[in-house]
């Protein structure tokens, strides 16, 4: 089984902006607590991703490339608004950090994720990360599609 182990942090400052970014548009065909089914377009590539329930920083993840035309059609079937963001890939202390800068209803939110080989893997935090939000489901992209950052009472 494919497994994703990732930690998520809020981002401060702008030192991460030196990395080139790629626009990502994604939507959800299913956002139930047990599983999410996501369609993502990233540049000229597209993917269908199924993720299982999160336990700590770990969850099952299955991702498959799909034709771009299929992704466009599937995005039109998604329930709720689409997520629009630019993803910057930043190397730090031997790990690749993915910094997502959100737009639209989630504008102003910047989150960094790092994928790990185990939950207890030691991580040297870059100076531009702040609070860890791994366990806060509000920061899941699937949640941001229905409860966007602009609607949060205290940001």
SS (H, E, C) 58-96: EEEEEEEECCHHHHHHHHHHCCCCCEEEEEEEEEECCEE
What are the catalytic residues?
A: 28
Measured distance CA(52)–CA(42) in Å, rounded: 22
Q: Which long-range contacts (CB under 8 A, 24 or more apart) does 43-46 make?
A: 44/68, 46/70, 46/71, 46/72
Q: How many CA atoms lie within 13 A of 64 on its CB side?
A: 8
Asked whether the beta carbons of 29 and 51 are under 8 A apart, the reply is: no
Q: How far is CA 117 from the centre of its chain?
A: 18
Measured CA distances, 75 to 71, 86, 93 (Å): 6, 17, 36
């Amino acid at each position: 089984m494919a497994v994703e182990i990732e930690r998520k942090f809020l981002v401060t400052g702008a030192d991460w902006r030196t990395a080139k970014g790629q626009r990502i548009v994604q939507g959800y065909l299913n956002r139930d607590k047990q599983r999410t089914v996501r369609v993502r377009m990233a540049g000229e590539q597209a993917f269908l991703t199924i993720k299982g329930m999160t336990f700590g920083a770990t969850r099952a993840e299955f991702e498959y490339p799909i034709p771009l035309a299929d992704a466009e059609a599937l995005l039109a079937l998604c329930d709720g608004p689409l997520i629009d963001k630019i993803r910057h890939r930043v190397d730090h202390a031997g790990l690749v950090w993915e910094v997502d800068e959100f737009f639209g209803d989630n504008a102003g939110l910047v989150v960094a994720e790092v994928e790990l080989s185990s939950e207890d893997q030691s991580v040297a935090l870059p100076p531009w990360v702040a609070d860890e939000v791994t366990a806060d489901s509000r920061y899941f992209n699937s949640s941001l599609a229905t409860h966007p950052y602009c609607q949060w009472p205290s940001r």
